[in-house]
Amino acid sequence: MISVGILGGTGYTGKKLIQFCSAHPFVKDFEVYANTTANENLSSLFPDLEGMIEDKKVLSVKSVSFDHDLYFITLPHGEALNYVPALISKGKKVIDLGGDYRLDFEELYLQWYKIEHSSSYLLKSKVYGLADFDKSEYTDVQLVANPGCYPTAVLLSLLPIVKNLGDEILSVSCAAYSGTSGAGKSPKAEYLMSEMDGNVKAYNINSHRHEPEILQTLYKNGFHSPFAFTTHLLPVAVGIYATSFIHLKSNVDEAKLQKFFKQAYVDSPFVRIRNTPPELKWVLNSNFCDINVSVKEKKVVVTAAIDNLVKGAAGQAIQNMNKLYGWDESLGLLQKEAQHAALA
């Protein structure tokens, strides 16, 4: 049994973490820390959860206790740097759901995040926790960088092809779409319902911070071809849909590709290989990633759908927690239908 601290725990992702920790059989207790919502009760922040979670007062993130065993950090980019080094020095385990430790080189943070990384020595010792693809044990690991939502969907779509047909790839282009919750809970005019209803738009073209994160993992697995990544906003609150186009040098058999995907995820309870392109509604409020592979001669199209707040954030973080402690990685995530409904 472990004690958990959730830093930044009153946003969309924090709410999911609270629900998962409340239901997890090996989490004995947890505390929630935040900035602007400190001293408020969880029942007032999340009235829909009354009776499903223990009501408690939100603590100030400025006075984080070192009494917990594991810490989830869901703070804005750059803020985890203020807490992670001290937690690691105290021997604590940390899962950072932001981008502060995902990249391997501090120079990339200057280029893509416009920040100077103040604890770059931790970048080499962290584990990049793409839980469904990397099945290595987390023995003696203290820091896990939880992947971003777009990278989770895109990498799970591409890695089986890259690992098996890397030298055959001419180019990869990915068009990915997100619900507006991916921008967080802070109010922004461009994400208002009156702006997004009936609307779709591309954003951060050639400049999205998840691109170097995606390429970093692809390169490590043998990718060395041109890559394009374009993100879009959908008029929905939750979800990620990614369509990846892979051009090959030679024709490939669809059954062969299907075999690569099934072999890659044979031990993952959360990746479902579909016979038809997935729909977003199939994965909402779940930790599943649904993938379909379609082939026509030298062209491969892979479609993938995830819930950005669960598989793309809190759910994968719970997977990583389970792996850190050597528990079944589906513990607390493959729940009965009624428990899934509670996460809606």
CA distance 96 to 74: 7
* Radius of gyration over every alpha carbon of the chain, rounded to an integer in angstroms: 20
From 153, 158, 141, select the one nearest 320 (Cα to Cα): 141
Question: How far, in Å, are 69, 140, 171, 317 from residue 182 at the CA level?
Answer: 28, 32, 27, 16
From 150, 114, 107, 148, select the one nearest 129 (Cα to Cα): 148
Strand extents, DSSP E, 163-314: 169-178, 201-203, 227-233, 240-248, 271-273, 289-296, 299-306
Separation of first and last alpha carbons in the chain: 26
Catalytic residue, chosen from 21, 149, 174, 289, is 149
Q: What are phi and psi of 196, to 5 degrees?
A: -100, -20
**174 labelled catalytic:** no
CA distance 50 to 79: 30
CA distance 82 to 265: 36
CB 92 within 8 A of CB 65: no
Tokens representing 87?
Answer: 């937690």
| Active site amino acids | 149
